[in-house]
Chains A and B, each alone.
Chain A
Amino acid sequence: MALAEVFGNLSAVGYGLAAIGPGIGVGLVFASYIQSTARQPESARITQPFVWIGFAVIELLALLGIAFGFVFAGDLA
């Protein structure tokens, strides 16, 4: 008898693992923004676009996980 058995698909677990990195990254982006804004409130408007660019670039890594999950599953249609 097997000690542990997994039914179905492990891809959800895999995606969860893949989302750890982007999660930390997005957290760092906003943490830095909050910190810099707290130190120098008048810089808030200047740094805002870069916050969103950084956020988008990092968030993309997690989104690639969604897209490639389906690509590698091989049943796109």
Chain B
Amino acid sequence: MFAQLTTDPGESGFHAPKVGDFFPGPIVEGAPGWLTKYTILVAIAVVAILAFFLLAYRDPKLVPTKKQWFAESIYGFARNSISQGMIGPEGVRFAPYITTLFVFIAAMNFFAILPGVQTSPNSHIAYPLVLGLLSYFIFIAVGIKKHGAGRFFKNHLMPPAPWFMQPLLIPIEFISNFIARPLTLALRLFANMFAGHMILVVFTMGGFALLGAQNILLKPIGILSFLMAIALTFLEMLVVILQAYIFSVLSASYIGGALADEH
């Protein structure tokens, strides 16, 4: 009986999610190859963000309406806490970029928990990679513009240390500052959304499989599995905002490091 309990997959069977699920084809037959679910979701996110901020700030009042207050507090948070907190007084210049990054990533991540969609463009490595490379180029460009190429690279490659340590330190600094930064920015966001989607699919599909199992004892566990899926959706809600926040905080701190006078 125990063997049946553990191995009997039931009629519907259980199909673990595959990596291939994250590479959907064109949305309809015959559409061009780039027109996948993800590109459409990105377009929706862009339009929604534009519409929200334009509508919220179309007719600004001294005493803000609810919508205006919401938009202003998002921008205020990104400007005061993230930009100025990480970069310093100069951070106001970068507040638009940081805010855009924060809101755009949050909106794209939000698709991961939106019922009916439940997949985020960020669970495809291409989208986080572009965002990571954007932050990477911006922090290098900003640093070179402020200090000149020589001093910028000297600040970022040569930590203050005795000269005989430099052959050891320069490669380490190079890898951590110029190779790992865009990669880790992209991978962190990607892996979070990827794993989040994977977990939700496992619990939801597992719930169906267990409900459809022939063994009556397994059916209640199917309910438990669905409840776990719901609980983990709330956890994902936290991850959605947290990852957007972390991405923008790290971008801001890279820019802040590039602008800093001394290492």
Contacts and interface: CB of A to CB of B under 8 A. Distances in A.
B188 A53 contact: no
Nearest to A71: B19
Given A60-B184, A67-B187, A67-B190, A52 B23 contact: no
A36 B194 CA distance: 34
Interface string B225-245: 000000000000000001001
A47 to B, nearest CB: 11
B187 A53 contact: no
Nearest to B243: A56
A60 B19 contact: no
A67 B245 contact: no
Contact of B194 (A53, A55, A66, A77): A66
Contact of B249 (A53, A60, A64, A70): A53
Interface in A26-77: 49, 52-53, 55-57, 59-60, 63-64, 66-67, 70, 75-77
A42 to B, nearest CB: 16
| Tier of interface size on chain B | 20 to 34
| Tier of interface size on chain A | 10 to 19
Contacts of B246: 52-53, 55-56
B108 interface: no
Contacts of B167: none
B21 to A, nearest CB: 11
B163 to A, nearest CB: 29
Given A66-B194, A66-B195, A75-B19, A52 B184 contact: no
B46 interface: no
Contacts of A52: 242, 245-246, 249
A75 B16 CA distance: 15
Given A53-B250, A53-B253, A64 B191 contact: yes
A49 B190 contact: no
A70 B19 contact: yes
B222 to A, nearest CB: 22
A60 B191 CA distance: 9
Interface in B77-129: 81-82, 85-86
A63 B188 contact: yes
Nearest to B81: A49
A61 to B, nearest CB: 10
Given A52-B246, A66-B194, 5 more contacts: A49-B86, A53-B249, A63-B187, A66-B195, A77-B20
Interface of B: 19-20, 23, 81-82, 85-86, 184, 187-188, 190-192, 194-195, 242, 245-246, 249-250, 253
13 contacts: A49-B82, A49-B249, A49-B253, A53-B249, A53-B250, A56-B249, A60-B184, A60-B188, A63-B188, A63-B192, A66-B191, A76-B19, A77-B19
Q: Top 3 closest A-B pairs, CB basis?
A: A63-B191, A56-B246, A60-B188
